[in-house]
Structure 1
Amino acid sequence: MLFKTYSVYTNTIKHLLHKQSLINPLFNLHTKPISSLKVVWRKDPQLDHAIERDKQYKLCSKVVKEVLNEPGQVIPLRYLEKRRDRLRLNIKIPTFLNKNPALFDVYHDRIRPKSEPVRFVRVSHRLRNFLEEERRIVLKNEEWIVLKLCKLLMMAKDKVLSVDKLVHVKREFGFPNDFLVNLVHRYPNYFRLIGPPEEGKSFLELVEWNPEFAKSVIEQRAEEESCLTGIRVRPNFYYKLPSGFFLRKEMREWVRDWLELDYISPYVDVSHLDQASQEMEKRTVGVFHELLSLSLFKRIPVPILGKFNEEYRFSNAFSSVFTRHSGIFYMSLKGGIKTAMLREAYKDGELIQRDPLLEIKDKFVQLLEEGWQERAEQLRLQKEEVKKDREMLAMMDGDMDGQESSRELDGQEVEE
């Protein structure tokens, strides 16, 4: 259910709430700390399945990046085997290679000139073709990547973010591996790199504020609706609880009143707001909504979001926001990792609006599926060969039995 919203004057609200709290004890809920408002977590199987469905793709992608980061993009198979725990790969590398034949080639070479030849892993020809396609897609969407990067900086407290943290989230937002080396330097009007990256203390700073970029997804949606209807639409969150999910009466009242507060853009300065205020809660939810909207899959692991506590002014207990606002977010526990998901971005577990950079994922999955189909065909042919061999042996056994019977009959005739 999408809560209907209208303008509310803060001072009037405070006066009325204070007056009502003297009459009705339930209104004391509005004066309680926000952190004390609890909502029971409820599993959403469809959204959990969306994460599970991408598990194989992400695992293969991690192994590919591991090899690509090696000198010459080759690695001894036994070295890769030693990294299985770090890659969270629960099968041995030879088994992984057999199951995904489109990704790598295995060949023999020497680690040192006089050493015995060992098995090496290198990028396959088909994977190299995919990497070329990936570069083409990134180049085609470069403006979108620049916009995303600007927005991340514009939401930050001092319009500055640590390079280490940006590298850590590049996969979540679809930034190319070399975005700090190539892309940033091509846009000096937007970005300035501060400090040497090799020392691990470098930062990316926003140079120019573009007001067109400082519009959140929610604000853009309200503008579009206003243009279509001719009626001014106030920006606010879509709030829809999943089927079978209910809030206690007092919590419903709190959510209703909270939604009636004015929307606070994630791009405005909020240094004057109290961290424990409802207005700050509104702004925090707005930042999370915008971050998830900019991400590739409209979901981000909670520990990754936690790395930006200081830059985006999150409280230490920020993760409770995702369960407190269950009509906006879902916090999945799939895979033993908390993942914040944007409910409105999914329908029946499928993304509604896909990020243009997801074309890269589609091409990679297509490559994987080609390899899987080839392997399945090879296994089918092998089974047919085994079946034919067994039938041939059975026929030969039958012929031999027939010959033995014939010899026995001939012997009986001779005796007679």
Structure 2
Amino acid sequence: MRPLAIRRAARPLPPLAVLIQSMSYVDVKMRWKKDSSFDDVPVLSQARDLRPLVSLARLLSPSPTPVSAVSNLRRSLETPDRRVASFLRRFPAAFVESVGPRNNVPWFRLSDSAACLLREERNTFAARRADITSRLRRLLLMSPCRRLPLRVAQGMLWHLALPEDYFKCPDYDIAQDGFRILTFGGSICCDGDDDGRELGLIDNGEDQELPKSVLEMDAMRRFGSTKEVPIPLFQSKGLRLKRKIEVWLEGFQKLPYVSPYEDFSCIDRNSDVSEKRVLGVLHELLSLFVTCSAERRRLLCLRKHLGLPQKFHRVFERHPHVFYLLLKEKSCFVILKEAYMAGGDTAIDEHPMLEVWRKYAGLMEESREIIKCRRSGKPFQPKYEDHERSEDGKEGADSAAMMS
């Protein structure tokens, strides 16, 4: 008679360590929490309109210009409005409209305030040119080949507050700043379109010591060495992390730090060390920009040139204490929290052009007040006139006291 069940031979049990699975990856998902403190910063809340406004201010002049001279540039200016004239009418504090001599075509000119800001912008670039262009140099040094396609570098000029014709106008002479334009073969190219050309360094970054990143300078300032380079964290109001994520974050801070300017070819791309390197690259990149922020989609063009993974944008969601995602007008802007929440306790240097951009944002706010007064029929009183009058009155009182 056959047995109902056949007994299998006993097998030796594997060691206990084989049965234990170690999970180094922790699934961190940020539940987006609105932080109104970033909405109160004009250069951030009005970032979508700030770029076309400044670009149009550079194209127009204090004398009236027909709108047809700039209307064809709507796609390159990326104005939110379908027509450039509609965008110009939204900011009467910066652009003054008049009727042309023929066919009632609208003409626009810069207001006195916008013309003064344009001169201040040019004077700031002339006075702080070495500081501003050094940020472009650091961006090139972050690339393993120490160069970027010219089209990619052209797209970064706005974030670095460099003139939009910096590569095209011979008056700027980019060679004196240490840059040169090359073809893909490495030879110097002077003319032609942007296809097949790259922006490189004259010295290829070999003559000087590689710069230290902002995180390394912060570690030197706090601990006196770079043996451990933690990343400054800033918690948003109402945002709490799970316990397992907090434990993972504590261990993440103690991992080795790889500078964005160092070779990273020996790092395992699936490790937490690689993720910390990606986080450091994005931290350093945003710290170079004027507002320490950028539209998320504009950073995609830098992915392969900075050695970032294909889905590097997930780092913004996995580290909500480092970055804040500002959702504005169907766009997502990435903001480096340290630049706005650290106060003076940070190694990030304020961009020389930030104060000028704040004044441009002030003109945008003033334009909204002008439109409100027009609709209500009330007279508009500019704030800057009150400030100038108070300053003049103070100077007059001081001079009278000195004479007496």
TM-score category of the 2 structures, normalised to the smaller one:
0.7 to 0.9
Name the count of aligned residue pairs: 351
Counterpart for residue 181 of structure 2 = 193
Alignment map for 1:127-138 (pairs within 5 Å): 127-138=114-125
Aligned counterpart in structure 1 of residue 137 of structure 2, from 150, 153, 162: 150
Alignment map for 1:81-100 (pairs within 5 Å): 83=74, 86-89=78-81, 93=85, 97=89, 100=92
Go from structure 1 to structure 2 and tell me whether the alpha carbon gap of 1:90 and 1:349 turns closer, same or farther (over 3 Å shift): farther
Residues 1:75 and 2:66 aligned together? yes
Match of 1:179, as an amino acid? Y
Q: TM-score, normalised by structure 1?
A: 0.71
Go from structure 1 to structure 2 and tell me whether the alpha carbon gap of 1:235 and 1:40 turns closer, same or farther (over 3 Å shift): closer
Counterpart for residue 7 of structure 2 = none
Aligned counterpart in structure 2 of residue 170 of structure 1, from 146, 151, 157: 157
Q: Distance in 2 between matches of 1:161 and 1:205?
A: 7
Go from structure 1 to structure 2 and tell me whether the alpha carbon gap of 1:363 and 1:275 turns closer, same or farther (over 3 Å shift): same
Alignment map for 1:24-39 (pairs within 5 Å): 28-30=22-24, 34=25, 37-39=27-29
Counterpart for residue 121 of structure 1 = 108
Compare 366-375 and 293-302 and name the one that shifted more: 366-375
Counterpart for residue 355 of structure 1 = 351
- Structure 1 residues 311-346: Cα deviation after superposition (integer angstroms, max 9, x where no partner): 011111111111112222223333322222212222
Alignment map for 1:249-328 (pairs within 5 Å): 249-328=243-322
Counterpart for residue 221 of structure 1 = 218
Counterpart for residue 202 of structure 2 = 207
Q: Distance in 2 between matches of 1:20 and 1:321?
A: 35
SS at match of 1:333: strand
Q: TM-score, normalised by structure 2?
A: 0.73
- Structure 1 residues 62-113: Cα deviation after superposition (integer angstroms, max 9, x where no partner): 1452474479983336984995995113899468537524423423134xxx
Go from structure 1 to structure 2 and tell me whether the alpha carbon gap of 1:118 and 1:133 turns closer, same or farther (over 3 Å shift): same
Go from structure 1 to structure 2 and tell me whether the alpha carbon gap of 1:279 and 1:325 turns closer, same or farther (over 3 Å shift): same
Go from structure 1 to structure 2 and tell me whether the alpha carbon gap of 1:57 and 1:199 turns closer, same or farther (over 3 Å shift): closer
Q: What is the Cα deviation at residue 200 of structure 1?
A: 3.1
Go from structure 1 to structure 2 and tell me whether the alpha carbon gap of 1:79 and 1:155 turns closer, same or farther (over 3 Å shift): closer
- Structure 1 residues 241-287: Cα deviation after superposition (integer angstroms, max 9, x where no partner): 32333333332232222221111101001122222222211111110
The structure having more radius of gyration, on CA atoms, is: 1
Go from structure 1 to structure 2 and tell me whether the alpha carbon gap of 1:330 and 1:77 turns closer, same or farther (over 3 Å shift): same
Report sequence identity in percent: 22
Compare 307-316 and 199-208 and name the one that shifted more: 199-208
Q: Is the 8 A contact 2:117 2:360 kept in 1?
A: yes
Higher share in helix = 1
Go from structure 1 to structure 2 and tell me whether the alpha carbon gap of 1:82 and 1:235 turns closer, same or farther (over 3 Å shift): closer
Counterpart for residue 34 of structure 2 = 44
Q: Distance in 2 between matches of 1:24 and 1:169?
A: 48
Q: Distance in 2 between matches of 1:73 and 1:190?
A: 38
Go from structure 1 to structure 2 and tell me whether the alpha carbon gap of 1:165 and 1:350 turns closer, same or farther (over 3 Å shift): farther
Instruction: Provide the aligned C-alpha RMSD in A.
Output: 3.9
Go from structure 1 to structure 2 and tell me whether the alpha carbon gap of 1:296 and 1:162 turns closer, same or farther (over 3 Å shift): same
